[in-house]
Amino acid sequence: MSTQLNRRSFAAAAATLGAGLASSTAAAATAANAPPLGVLDKLDVAALQAAMSAGRLSAVELTRHCLKRIEALNLRGPQLRAVIELNPDALAQARALDAHRRHKKSPQVRGPLHGIPVLLKDNIATADKMSTTAGSLALAGLHAQRDAHIVERLRAAGAVILGKTNLSEWANIRSNRSSSGWSSRGGQTRNPHVLNRSPSGSSSGSAVAAAAHLAPLTVGTETDGSICSPAQACGVVGFKPTVGLVSRSGIIPISASQDTAGPIVRHVRDAALLLQAMAGTDPTDPVTLTQAATLPDFTAGLQPDALQGKRIGVIRAAVPNQPAVAALFEKALATLREQGAVLIDPMVIPNYAEARRGEFTVLIHELKDGVAKYLAAYQSDAPVKTLADVIAWNKAHAEQAMPFFAQETLEAAVATQGIEAPGYVEALANCRRLSRAEGIDAMFAEHKLDAIVGPTGNIAWPIDHLLGDRFTGGGFGSMFAIAGYPHLTVPMGMVGGLPVGISFAAQAWQDARVLALGHAFEQASPHLQAPRYLQETGLN
């Protein structure tokens, strides 16, 4: 069956379904189509909270500001398609939170996110008027029966749940020829810096929304690269926590071994605040019970001298074959030295290739098992109950669901023999041993490291629905994804109008340290730049 579709019939079908898909021939916007940044857009969460505490700002005003930017940038102007759905109750939530703050007799502030709008990736369940679909038309219009655990925590911390962000459909596990940021429900998310370049994925919409100042905070999810890669491509901060720090309950899964939610924001301090709100134990996600009884204050170590005396390994193999990125990385290393870091250069992660060899086997076995469990627990009224049902639905609606690429990865997952299969058990054990004890942990112990650094990846490539994504190497995030260890990306500079990032990573549960090191670099060498919404770059 052909996976290509006549563009005119594709647009017509999408309109009929109300999916909001954009024709791939839609005219690119110029910088003049985008509203300039206002005062609110330049404030971090702490400054926004200070303004609200002083009565200079309300949650309603902040929420309305975000909604206006989404209206101007999401389906109009540059047509970013970062937001797949807005919460019709967002303003009502903001009003209630303002009332709590201004109560005459007993003012109440729920937490550090009181009144702060948050956008969630559309694989995170919310028990409200919004759908939870992983970008799939098979789940469009359906509602989760209860909140994901992290959504419960965000509400308890006072966040305004503003809406859902677009993503690479099924978190980019549907096909090996996919286009990052495209989903059958939401269309193609576009990189706000250069509109014809990929936003990367799978948390594409969250990264684009953060970069374009559509909300102060966004949440993404990662199995392998899906937070840090789009964050780097869009020039913002992305943090993948240690697996088990944040509950996965209520998040449409790929892998019980590697999945986690995490912050995608503009400032490392905001990542720490958002992580603080989301982190914690959850009896329905047993991996969270392995975390420390008392979590650290993730903001406490965010000091400008955090790099002083820290031993940091330099992963030269992470440098992509792009000279301009290599040059920026050398400047970043100079900054680390100036801040007192001791660089061990170069370092090689042991067993990197060997650990990655079994990852695909682990993922497709866990995908089949996890999707069925999620649907039963959170969306039992869905017309699809299993991954096999999803495949059948896509085939029956191929014009709308598979116009550009197929679903061979889903089919490979359905063909597996379950998580009791010897091949899966062996692959999982090998991945854990090679990535942890005989990989990252061995390297850290031998060289007495506090962290390692390297470029996060390569420059964003042109969007290409025919050939799919064009990764050209670089980065080391896969090893930390397989191990389940923390990984942070921070803006490192620009090449041809496109951002690139530097990664900081460490051993399990060293999340506070990684955030502190990244924050110190960010303060010493700030590279956050507002998008220019260019039609194209001069790069080839």
Are 156 and 163 in contact, with CB atoms under 8 Å apart? no
HSE toward the beta carbon, residue 470, CA cutoff 13 A: 12
> Residue 450 in contact with residue 359, Cβ under 8 Å?
no
- How would residue 528 be classed by pLDDT, with cut points 50, 70 and 90? very high
Cα–Cα distances (Å) from 535 to 30, 194, 462, in that order, read 6, 6, 11
Contact yes or no for 235/499 (Cβ under 8 A): yes
Q: Where are the alpha helices (DSSP H) in 212-322?
A: 228-234, 268-278
Q: Name every residue whose Cβ is closer than 8 Å to that of residue 85 and which is 6 or more positions away in sequence.
A: 122, 130, 131, 163, 164
- Most confidently modeled of 16-30, 100-114, 147-161, 463-477? 147-161
The pLDDT tens digits for 374-396 are 999 999 999 999 999 999 999 99
Predicted confidence band of residue 31 (pLDDT cuts 50, 70, 90): low
Percent of the chain with pLDDT over 90: 91
> 298-307 pLDDT, tens per residue?
999 999 999 9
| Domain locations along the chain | 28-524
Amino acid identity of residue 243, one-letter, is V
Please give the pLDDT value at position 459.
96
Q: Which of 249, 276, 246 is nearest to 261 (CA)?
A: 246
Cβ atoms < 10 Å from Cβ of 50: 13
Confidence of residue 24 (pLDDT cuts 50, 70, 90): very low
Separation of CA 406 from chain center: 23
pTM to 2 decimals? 0.94
Between the alpha carbon of residue 538 and those of residues 56, 149, 233, 408, 462, the distances in Å are 43, 44, 16, 35, 12
427 has a pLDDT exceeding 60: yes
Which residue reads 């999945």 in tokens?
259
Q: What is the mean pLDDT of residues 137-152?
A: 97
> At residue 2, does pLDDT exceed 60?
no
Which of 367, 393, 385, 11 is CA-nearest to residue 170? Answer: 367
Alpha-carbon span 433 to 445, nearest angstrom:
15
Domain 28-524: assigned CATH number:
3.90.1300.10
Residues 6+ apart with CB under 8 A from 459: 320, 322, 324, 325, 495, 496, 498, 500, 539
Any idea which residue has 């951002």 for tokens? 499
At residue 425's C-alpha, the angle toward residues 423 and 430, to 5°, is 95
The band of 21, judged by pLDDT with boundaries at 50, 70 and 90, is very low
**What is the mean pLDDT of the segment spanning 347-361?**
97
Is residue 539 over pLDDT 80?
Answer: no
Cα Dmax for the chain = 67
Give Cα 417 to chain centroid, integer Å. 30
pLDDT on residue 106: 78
Reply yes or no on whether the pLDDT at 13 is more than 70.
Answer: no
pLDDT value of position 508? 98
CA distances from 56 to 49, 158, 195, 196 (A): 10, 18, 35, 39
CB atoms within 10 A of CB 365: 26
pLDDT of residue 20: 36
Q: What is the mean pLDDT of residues 267-291?
A: 98
Question: Alpha helix (H) ranges present in 104-259?
Answer: 149-156, 169-172, 204-211, 228-234
Instruction: Convert the pLDDT of each residue in 392-423 to its tens digit.
Output: 999 999 999 999 999 999 999 999 999 999 99
Res. 5 pLDDT band, cuts 50 70 90: very low
Residues 6 or more apart from 111 whose CB is under 8 A from it? 156, 157, 158, 277
- Please give the full DSSP string across 306-335, using - where no structure is assigned: TTTT-EEEE-GGGS-S-HHHHHHHHHHHHH
**Per-residue model confidence (pLDDT) at position 40:** 97
Q: What digits encode the pLDDT tens for the residues 94-140?
A: 999 999 998 877 788 999 999 999 999 999 999 999 999 999 999 99
DSSP string of 189-215?
Answer: ---SSBTTB---SSSHHHHHHHHTTS-
- The residue-averaged pLDDT of 195-216 equals 98
Please give the DSSP secondary-structure letter assigned to residue 284. Answer: T
Strand-pairing partners, residue 488, are 239, 504
Percentage of residues in the chain with pLDDT exceeding 70? 94
Q: How high does pLDDT run on average in the chain? A: 93
Pair of tokens at residue 24: 């791939």
At 414, which amino acid appears? Answer: V
C-alpha span between 489 and 50 (Å, rounded): 27
At 43-89, the pLDDT tens digits run: 999 999 999 999 999 999 999 999 999 999 999 999 999 999 999 99
> Coil, strand or helix: which one is 11?
helix
Mean pLDDT over 451-464 rounds to 97
Sign of the Cα pseudo-torsion (145, 285, 486, 320, in order) = negative
Q: Which residues are catalytic?
A: 121, 202, 226
The reported pLDDT for the residue numbered 347 is: 97
Is the confidence at residue 365, as pLDDT, over 50?
Answer: yes
